[in-house]
Every structure is written in structure tokens, then in C-alpha cells.
Structure 1
Amino acid sequence: MTPANEPAAPPQPTAAAGEPGAGAAPGRVILPVASGAQTLAAVGALLRGRRLQTFTAVGVLTLGTGIGLLTAPILGRMVDLVAGQRGAASLTVPMVLLLVVAVGRGAATGLGSALVARLGETVLAGLRERFIDRALNLPLERVEQAGSGDLTSRVTGDVTLITRVVRQALPEFTTALLTIVLTLAGLAVLDWRFLAAVLLAVPVHVLTVRWYIPRAVPVYAAHRVANGALQHQLLDSVGGVRTVRAFRLTDQHAKLLESRSREAVDLALRGIRLVSGFFSRLNLAEFIGLAAVLVTGFLLVGNGSVSIGTATAAALYFHSLFNPVNAALFLIDDAQSAGASLARLVGVSDLPAEEDPADAARPADGSVRVRELSHAYASGHPVLDAVDLEVRDGERVALVGASGAGKTTLAKLIAGVHRPTGGSVELGGADTRALGPAGVRRAVTLISQEVHVFAGPLAEDLRLARPGATDAEITAALARVDALTWVEALPEGAATVVGEGGHRLTVTQAQQLALARLVLADPPVAILDEATADAGSAGARTLEGAALRALEGRTGLMVAHRLPQAATADRIVVLDRGRVVESGTHAALVAAGGSYAALWSAWSDSRRTGAEEAAVPRPREA
């Protein structure tokens, strides 16, 4: 997300409906969507390692379908026996065979469907792992450009849709396809003229699919993107509800939500209209095919070419195609939705990995040096302009300034979230380009006011920062940030499940966990981006003390929301309109009477006014 106190990224061109990017919010560059060839190649690569499982699943399903096709010839034989007045006893064997066919078909089809579903789940799991691996290693700048809704909708909505299709539609589609192929072969065995009659319906099916697919693919692709844009807007509006209310942006956000919702609904209705037209054409194909088979059977029985039983079997064969054909073609609807979602997953999983230099440098210490650093979200509108800053190893520096001064942008450039438009950043004497993305992540840890509590035992949440951390190290980290007391008071201590579905933590407690992770990760440089802003007055004071202890022994940069926190720093750097305008200790800057002194005076006056108002006696109510 673009920080609230920094300029938003510039609007980017959006694609037309149906193209990647359609429906995306202005200023968002959504993550890539794979082409059809790329998607098939990705699925093929996952299947190649499971050939035996694939052949077994398809083989068992083919066997079950083939057994089921014996029903029509047996029924046709029974018709011939009745027509020939062979007596009731002659029907015993066919009846037993029908029972055996039903049992055999049910068992083989059930097993085959289970094997196909298992194969699909296995392939989906592999794709999901690739997606998560790549998503977790995407450059943070790329994720911010796309917006949180885009990535969230892929990992939730798209994965859910594909999972449903794999579990339900894939076995049904495979069975339907095999039934169609084997039934057509059975018709040819009965008499090639029956097959020719059935093929009269094929042009209608082909034209129906050719009419449907070109219209459905763009609609479903655009619908997925529109849902992503809607989800992003919901996250923005709900997550920033206090800011929205404070700046009286409620109506604007309501209109944006209405617009995004209307776009998603309109695309869904277009899809429903396409499906209705799709099935009306299929009904025409069924009429043409069945009429052709019945006329052919009448003529062939009339000239003695086939028996009544054979003509009956042919009619039953075609009638048995109704459900498989409709199912296969109807499942194209699900296939289009799943295909659009699959392309969105593959688009992310096929992104090239971040490459580190072959001979990556290593920082010598925790010093930070910024030279002529510039950055602009929109061309011609710099957020930072030729900033120079040096931070000594172990020094604590507070970045202060009015909203939009460039504090958060500077912090993110040092942390490697954004790439500078100009200038350079050095960590421990090494340029960040020589360190590589992985080297920067090892050297710098950034904690913002938006922290996440991972679902699971609290101790495992902390071990994400250091997987091999011992219980003693976890206890020490919690104690260092003043969290040990309340953690030990939890029902199961550090083993208590927190996060989604677990014990709910307060804002202050969640931030303390983030600071404990910082202690365990032990980077040479730590950046706190307004990490105490959402905690309230009492919580902020607790976190400020915890933050100072977490920064001990390392270089610290604090984007200070509360000036008392800035006052505890070794040095304060004041930014204004993307430039460093003052630098020095709290006492020196207050004495200088410049920008920082004005900010401190305004802060002190607001605190004093608030205290005086709180001290005024309130009249008693009757």
C-alpha cells in the first residue's frame, strides 16, 4: 500500500476489458497474467513427473466408461428377444449382465474419478507451492504497485475456484469426454450410418463452442480482475477507515466501492447471459441428432440392414450422450473461469526470481550512507530530491517532518522496498546494488505500523525470524520488549495459538511481537516506520520503550510519528518537501528555532491544551 503520508504512485495505462489489467484501479500495475501456452506448459511440466499416476487414473476411468457402454447393446438384445417372442426365461442372462455392468461401472468410475481428483489436487498443490514461493519473494515495490487486493484475490479467490473445479469438475469432465469418444466408437461398431447421423449435430456443437469461447474468455478474465480491484478497494476503505472518516472521504470511498461493485456485477450478468444462449443452442443440437438417428434406424430396420434391437441400442447410445455432451460443454464454463484463475497463478509463479550478484558484497557494519538520493512516483514530481545522509554504526536517528515530506519513502529506499530514481544507498560501506536483494534483506529489517500476527503458536510466530531459536532465546527476546509478562499470562504461554482463529492480540501486543522478531532476526540495521502510531497514548509509551531496547546494539532509523520518541534519538533529521533541512540533537534543534522547534512547539501546545481541557470540571447531569 502507498503510505498515507506520501504521494501516491502515478496512474498507469489500464488494459481494455478482458485484457490483463482490465478493471484495475487507476495507478495500479497488476501482476502479470500468463498466456494460454504458458499455462499449458506449466501444467504439463507438473504432470511430467507424475506419468504413472496420470496413466493409472485415466486407464481406470476409461475401463469404467467402457463397461458402462455395454448397457445399450444389452438392452438392444433384450428388445430383439422380446420381438422374437423368445420367452421370459431368455431375459435372465441379459438382466444379470445389466446388474454386473452397473456394479462394475460404478466401482471403476468411482475409483477412476477419485484418482483423477487426487492427480488434480497433487498438480494444484505443486502449482500453489510455486505461486506462494514466488509471491513471498516478489520485490515489495512490485507488490505495492499492484496493490494488496490483486495478490490477495489470487491467493484466495483464484485458488478456491481452481480447487473446486479440480475436486468436482475435473473428474466429471474427464468421464464425460471419455464417454463421448467411446460412445461414438460404439455407434460405428453398430453401423457406420448411425455414426454419420449423429455427426449431423456436431456442426451445431462446434458453432456453439466457437460462439461461446471468444465471448466467455474475456468476460471471465475481466471478471477476475474486477473482483481483485473490488477486493483491493475494500481493503483500502476498511483498513483505512479512521483516515477516511478523519478527512471526510466516506462519500468518495462509497462511490468507488459502488463503481467497482457495479463493474463486477455487470461482468457476472454478461456471463450468465452467455450461458443461457449457450444451452439454447445445445438443445437444438440434441433435436437434430436424435431425429437423425431415429430416421436412420427406421430406414435401416425397414430394409433389413439392422434389427430393431440394434436401432434401439443406437438411439440409446445417442440419448446417453445428452448428459456427457452437455456436461462437457457446460463445464467449459467452469473451465474458462478456472483457466482465467490458473493463468493468474501461473503469471505470478513464472515471474523471474530476483537475482543476486554472483559475488555479492557484505556490509562491514551497520552504517548507512545515502548519496544524492532521489525518488519519484510520478515523472517530474520528485518525492526525494538529492538527499544526503550518513548514519554511524549503532547510531539511532529519527526522521521527522510534515506529512508528505518523504520520511517513509526514504526509509523504504534504504530498506530496499523501492529502487531509487537517482543516487545510491550504501549499507556498511557496500552499495545496495552490490549486496543484491537478499543481502539487503539480511542487513535491514523494516517494521511498519501495519504488522501481521501469523496463525499458530506464538513461539512459532517468533521463530519465523530465526527458525532455530531456542525457548531461552525466545524468552529473552520477549523480555527485552516488555512482552514476557503478558505472554506468560496466556492460557498456554508461548504455545498459545494466536492469529486467525486463535487468541486475539491487542495492537500493542502485536507490535511487541514484531519487535521481538526484530531482536531474534538481529539485523545490523533496523527501521521503525511509525511503529507506535496505532497503539494509543499508553500503548505508544510502552512501545517506545520496547523499541529503544530492541534497537540496542544496532543502527536504528525511526520514522517518528510522536515527537517524544524522536527526542530520545541520538540525532534528529528533519525533512521538508523531499530535502533534509535540519539535523542535530533534540536540544540543539529546539534551541535553533527552526522547523523542528516549530513542530515541537506545536506538539507541546497540543499536549498542554489537551491536559487543561481534561482538568476542567464537567457539570453534573441531572
Structure 2
Amino acid sequence: MSGTDGAQPAPGVRLPLATGREVRRVIGTYVRDRRGPAVATVALAALASAAGLVAPWAVGRIVDTVLTGGEPGAVVASAVLVGAAGLLGAVLTAVSAALVVRIGQHVLARLREQTVSSALRLPAGELEESGRGDLLSRVGDDVGVVADVVTRLLAPLVGALLTVALTVAGLVALDPWLAVAGLTALPVYALSLRWYLPRAGRRYAAERAAFADRAEALVSTLDGLRTVRAYGAETAHAERITASSARARDISRDVLWFGTAWGKWMNIAELVGLASIVAVGFAVVAAGTATVGEVTAAALYFHRMFNPIGMIMMSFDELQSAVASLSRIVGVVTAAPEPTPAPAQRPTGEVLARGVSHRYASAEVLHDVTVALAAGERVALVGPSGAGKSTLAVLLAGLAAPSAGEVTVGGTPVERFGSASPKPVVLVSQEAHVFAGPLADDLRLARPDATDDEIERALKTTGADAWVAALPQGARTVVGELGHSLTPEQAAQVALARALLADPVVVVLDEATAESGSRSATRLEDAADAVLDGRTGLVVAHRLRQASRADRILVMADGRVVEAGSHEELLAAGGHYAELWAAWQV
């Protein structure tokens, strides 16, 4: 009777993506927190761009002064003005760029923090369906993409946008006809963007999804490395990783070539705009409505927009990737349920699951299950592998929401206790995880204010005190991946001691003693009994001897409860439980 009843992640099942409106709302909230610095940054960047308008205007004055035989002093004054404006613009640009990056880093830090906290609130079932690779790529790869845009691209992009806007205003002020001539480049830019953006968006979304698939293939293989080696499946898994990496590479290469081919349209737009200014310039000078210096200034103004417009256009390539990443990151934020205040009073121990059904992707694993546990009652849950035992245990513990029906503890929906600390319902699973770090810190995850004496009593109650005392630094010894490795029995004892420290009203043991061998089975079952003492308990029983000591036994098959009663009653009935007991006795 294995403890894994859940379905494997269905291909193509992913965490949701945020809409454009959701992305703007979340980012806007962060920016409004820094409203003052943001306004100052835009003002400084605008002044820097305005300072850049001085040079073309001054050069135009120099041309007219030379052509009309003006004073040499006027030429020198214009040259000095160009230098002073350039210096001022450089200083303002540096300061505004630093402020842009600072604000961007603040927004990014807030986004990263909220993404991680939201990921921790996601229902366990939803994470299992989507696979951890999808989540890891969002909090890793996608955050990295956005961070790169913030640190490297955001400040130049803000400056480029302001430069283009103010330069167009300068062209209009200089001569409206010359401004119209320069704006003939805009249709070329607009048409190329209209063709590019929808196609690029799909490509970048596919690229990010391919990165997620690659991460999932790698993570799942590394997690199950021992099993892979045990069955000699290294080649098959290596081929799976290679195939997912090759697909990600091919999509990235397609995106690169697509962006490169699109770049030629910017050169065409520049040619159209500059040629129009020169042609109209001849006409307005001939008509006497503008001077050669003004046409020169207009050409320099338009030429001044080449780099900013090119930067804006080329940044769409990276912005599309960043937007795709933001929709995935914010998708985690919006998918997580908002924390609700936990009830002020500690609930009583009655547990009721009414009409509960649950599905993973398209497969329904629980069908209209109704279960009631009285306060202080110990109920065992038995049945063949795949019967739905672990799924029901997870739902009763409030770690996932049922697809239909409801679960209450003491009359309160179990999800209301999601933000409670410590939680009134604790699940101890078969796969007892030991976090890397001091053992005492691991135990304090259940109750951060636990004293050393309370930790020592919890370890003694679960039978772990002897081997913990033998560690080099006792409970302060670093365990897990970074330190002392624990045996499966020791890890199970730590998990039970952690549950004891939490002092819950309801304890759910999902085959928590299944990792023990026959020699240590009795010790772990005694530890589990100590944790259950005086509490409502649901025990997904790996060994029927543990089930026989329960007040009541529920037998599951095919996602339904098919029998219920005491050990003696079920044996006398001669049904499913009697068959299981007879097989276990043999």
C-alpha cells in the first residue's frame, strides 16, 4: 500500500499567465510606492533630453552666421553653448539613469519577494500538476530576464523616449513642414512594428515555455536519480533532457534570426525620413520660408533621433521577452490565494469532509467522499495503492482545495487556517524532508518560539534524543545536504517531533512510518502514537498493525470509502479489510 495516490503532472499543464492589465496593475502598485523619486527621475531625464536639443539648434545658427558673414564672436558663443549644454546633459543623464535603475531595482525586489511568497501559498495540488520546473523557471529564468532589462535597458529606454518626444517638438517649433517631412518615417516604423509585435510575442512565449520544460526535465531527473540508476534508465532520461534543450535552443535561434531580419526596416525608415527633410529643405529655402541653418538643424534633429529610435525599436525585442516573463511571474502572484485572517480561537477537533471530489488534470481520483472524525478520535485509512488515500489526507490537512465539496475543522473551512501559526492541522508525510541547517532550526519551523527544553522534550517523546545527543553539536548540528545525513528513520522522527512542537488539534499521518524497516517500525509507531495522543488523528496506515489499534478504520477503493468500522467489525464482515488483513498476516 504505497503512499502516492496523486497523478503525475499532465503534459502541457502549467501555472496561469497574467493578463496585460494584471501586469500593469501589479507593477503600477510598486511604482506608486516610489512616486516622488519617479517624478524626479522623469523631470531630470526630460531636462537632459532638452539639453540635447541645444547642439543642433546652435549648429544651425553657426551655419547661418557663416553664410551671412556674421561676427566671429557669435560663432564662438554658439560653440561654447554647445559644450555647456553637452556637459549639462551628460550630468543630468547620469543622475537620472542612476535613479531609474534604483527605482527599477526596488520594483524588482518587491516583485521577487511577492513572487516567492505567492509561490509558497500556491495549493500543493496545483504545483504538482504544473511540475516544479515551471515554477522554478519563473522565479529563476524569468526574474533574471526582467532583472537584466531593469539594470541594462530601462534607463536608456526612458531617455530615448523623452529624447524622441522633445526632438519632434523641436522640429515642429523650427518649421512645421520640416517636421512633417521627418515624420514620413513613422509609417515605416509603425508598419514594421505592426508586423513584428504579434509574431514576436508568440515566439517569446514559446521560448519561455521551452525553458520551463527544460528545467522540469532536468529537475525531475535529478530528483529521481537513484531510481533512474536503479533501472538503468540514464540514457532515456539523458535523451529527454537533450531533446528539451535542443527544442529550447531551436526556438531561441528562431527568435534571434527573426529579430535580426526585422532590423533592416529601421534603416529604411531612417532613409525615408532624412531624404524627405533634405527634399523639403530645398523647397522651403528656395521659397524663403526657412534658412539653410534651419534646414541643417532640422536634419541634425532628425539624425539625432536615429539612435534613440533604433534603441526603442530594438528594445522591443528584449521588451517582448521581458513582458512574456512578467506575465509568467505575475501569473504566480495572481494565482496564489490571498491570505485570509485565521480565526482567533483555536478550533475543536471535529473534522468533516462533505461530498468531496478531486481531480488531477482530467483524472478524477476522489468521488463524492464524506468522512467525519470526532474530536480526539483516531481513524485509520487503508486501501490498495491508487485508492485515493494520500489525496484525501492532503485535502483534510488543507494543503489543497477539493475540486468539489468542502472540508471543515471545528466547523470552520480548513483553508481559513492557511495563515495560522502554528497551524491547527498538521500533515506528516511519508517523504519526511529535512532542511539543510542546524537541526534545532529545522524543528523550529513548526514553532519559531520553541525553547531548547521544548525541543529536547519533543525529541525524547519521539525517541530521537539518543542519536541527537550523539551528534557533534547535539541539536545545533548542521544536518541535511550541507551537513550530517540522517537515516530514513531519523528523518521520520524529526518530522514527528516537528509535528509535536506545533501542538496541532488534528494530526494527519500519511504513511509517516512507511520508511522504517521491520526493526525500527515499532519505535516509529510508538512515536506516532505519542504525537497522536489527545488529538484527532487520521492515519494513512502502511502497516495494518497500526490500523488495528485505531478507534475506527476506513477502507478506500477507486476513490471511494467502501467500508468503515472497528478492526473487529471489519474482520467479522469479511469484506475488503478482511482480505487485506489476511494477506498482511501471511
Equivalent position of 1:335 in the other structure: 319
Aligned partner (choices 470, 490, 496) of residue 515 of structure 1: 496
Equivalent position of 2:396 in the other structure: 414
The two structures, once aligned, show a CA RMSD in angstroms of 4.5
Equivalent position of 1:37 in the other structure: 21
- Pair 1:220 & 2:204 matched: yes
| Displacement of 1:59 | 0.5
Equivalent position of 1:168 in the other structure: 152
| Displacement of 1:330 | 1.3
CA distance in 1, matches of 2:274, 2:479: 62
CA distance in 2, matches of 1:374, 1:189: 70
CA distance in 1, matches of 2:435, 2:357: 35
Q: 1:155 to 1:482 in 2, by over 3 A?
A: farther
1:13-24 to 2 correspondences below 5 Å:
none
Aligned partner (choices 144, 158, 177) of residue 161 of structure 2: 177
Tell me the alpha carbon deviations over residues 396-443 of structure 1, each in whole angstroms, 9 at most, x when there is no partner.
x55444422332123123213345577775645x47479776689933
Equivalent position of 2:446 in the other structure: 465
- Structure 2 letter corresponding to 1:8: A
- Aligned to 1:350, the other structure's residue is in SS state helix
CA distance in 2, matches of 1:410, 1:599: 24
| Displacement of 1:69 | 2.6
Say whether the 8 Å CA contact 2:571–2:578 is kept in structure 1.
yes
Say whether the 8 Å CA contact 1:416–1:440 is kept in structure 2.
no
Equivalent position of 2:507 in the other structure: 526
CA distance in 1, matches of 2:471, 2:57: 70
CA distance in 2, matches of 1:564, 1:215: 63
- Pair 1:6 & 2:16 matched: no
Q: 1:439 to 1:371 in 2, by over 3 A?
A: farther
Aligned partner (choices 535, 550, 554) of residue 554 of structure 1: 535
- Pair 1:232 & 2:216 matched: yes
CA distance in 2, matches of 1:282, 1:503: 57
Q: 1:282 to 1:359 in 2, by over 3 A?
A: same
- Pair 1:350 & 2:313 matched: no
CA distance in 2, matches of 1:262, 1:540: 47
| Displacement of 1:456 | 6.6
Tell me the alpha carbon deviations over residues 570-589 of structure 1, each in whole angstroms, 9 at most, x when there is no partner.
87766454545687669x97
Equivalent position of 2:43 in the other structure: 59
- Pair 1:278 & 2:268 matched: no
Aligned partner (choices 197, 209, 212) of residue 181 of structure 2: 197
| Displacement of 1:344 | 2.6
- Aligned to 1:465, the other structure's residue is in SS state coil
Say whether the 8 Å CA contact 2:382–2:556 is kept in structure 1.
yes
- 5+ unaligned residues in a row in structure 2: which ranges? none
- Pair 1:69 & 2:68 matched: no
- 5+ unaligned residues in a row in structure 1: which ranges? 12-24, 603-622
- Structure 2 letter corresponding to 1:415: A
- Aligned to 1:442, the other structure's residue is in SS state coil
Equivalent position of 1:294 in the other structure: 278
Equivalent position of 2:105 in the other structure: 121
Q: How many residues align?
A: 579
Equivalent position of 2:138 in the other structure: 154
CA distance in 1, matches of 2:473, 2:156: 47
CA distance in 2, matches of 1:38, 1:391: 44
- Percent of aligned pairs with the same residue? 42
- Structure 1 letter corresponding to 2:196: Y
- Aligned to 1:447, the other structure's residue is in SS state strand
Tell me the alpha carbon deviations over residues 495-551 of structure 1, each in whole angstroms, 9 at most, x when there is no partner.
677778x54754656655543432221112222334455688899888666555544
Equivalent position of 1:444 in the other structure: 425
| Displacement of 1:327 | 0.8
Q: Higher mean Cα deviation, 42-51 or 192-201?
A: 42-51
- Structure 2 letter corresponding to 1:118: R
| Displacement of 1:246 | 5.6
CA distance in 2, matches of 1:480, 1:4: 25
| Displacement of 1:184 | 1.6
CA distance in 2, matches of 1:306, 1:458: 82
Say whether the 8 Å CA contact 2:129–2:361 is kept in structure 1.
no
Say whether the 8 Å CA contact 1:385–1:579 is kept in structure 2.
no
Q: TM-score, normalised by structure 2?
A: 0.81
Question: Higher relative contact order at CA 8 Å, sep ≥6: structure 1 or structure 2?
Answer: 2
Q: 1:359 to 1:550 in 2, by over 3 A?
A: closer
CA distance in 1, matches of 2:284, 2:471: 83
- Aligned to 2:509, the other structure's residue is in SS state strand
Q: Higher mean Cα deviation, 341-350 or 326-335?
A: 341-350
